[in-house]
Amino acid sequence: MSILSGYGKYKRYILSDNGYKLCSQWTSSNTVHFDDNKTAQTKLGAIDGITDSLTATSSNVALSAKAGKSLQDQVTTLNTGSLIYRGAIGEKADANTIVSTGTYELYNANSQSSINFAFKNSSVLEVIVGAAGYVIQRQTGIEQCWVRFRDSHKVWYDWYQIG
């Protein structure tokens, strides 16, 4: 070791059943094993990159912290009741009670966008808030259902039939 460099090189040894073995300061991703016996290289080496997109479908892309926060905010929006159900006459009620024929509106206070939908027969309609608006997630028992969207600029799109 040089006095001028201020740098020292040390070797560490670990006692094993077969005597002392040199302990490396670095660990290879091929030598770290998880509970399922896969190595870190196998699990993490397959990640192609990080994305902000919530619509990415590749299983080799990790979700960024920014996109994770956006997703969490959307879930919070759903859970905190910022979705307001307005029936045909404009009253407020729980969106889960929409089960009768008619025209209804769901309004998202955060994005200031709305969705109108009309259907025949009793049914269950699940509406999920997305970054670009609303997405019809599940429909049950709907004979005929029409949907239209209004964006934050208060522009309504044409009605279209689903289901």
Whether residues 158 and 92 share a domain: the answer is yes
CA nearest 146: which of 132, 129, 125?
125
**CA angle (91, 110, 131) in 5-degree steps:** 115
pLDDT digits (tens, 9 = 90+) for 68-105: 888 887 777 655 544 444 443 233 334 445 444 444 55
pLDDT confidence of residue 33:
80
Query: Is there a domain that residue 34 lies in?
Result: yes
Pick out the chain residues at pLDDT < 50: 1-3, 81-96, 98-103, 119-143, 163
Query: Is there a domain that residue 2 lies in?
Result: no
Query: Is there a domain that residue 72 lies in?
Result: no
Q: Are 114 and 106 in contact (CB under 8 A)?
A: yes
Query: Is there a domain that residue 51 lies in?
Result: no
Determine the straight-line distance between the first and last CA of the chain, rounded to whole angstroms: 77
> Locate tokens 């991703």: which residue?
29
Question: What residue numbers bound the domain in which 108 lies?
Answer: 81-162
Alpha-carbon span 69 to 55, nearest angstrom = 15
pLDDT confidence of residue 8:
58
Domains contained in the chain, number: 2
- For the entire predicted model, the pTM comes to 0.32
Query: Is there a domain that residue 66 lies in?
Result: no
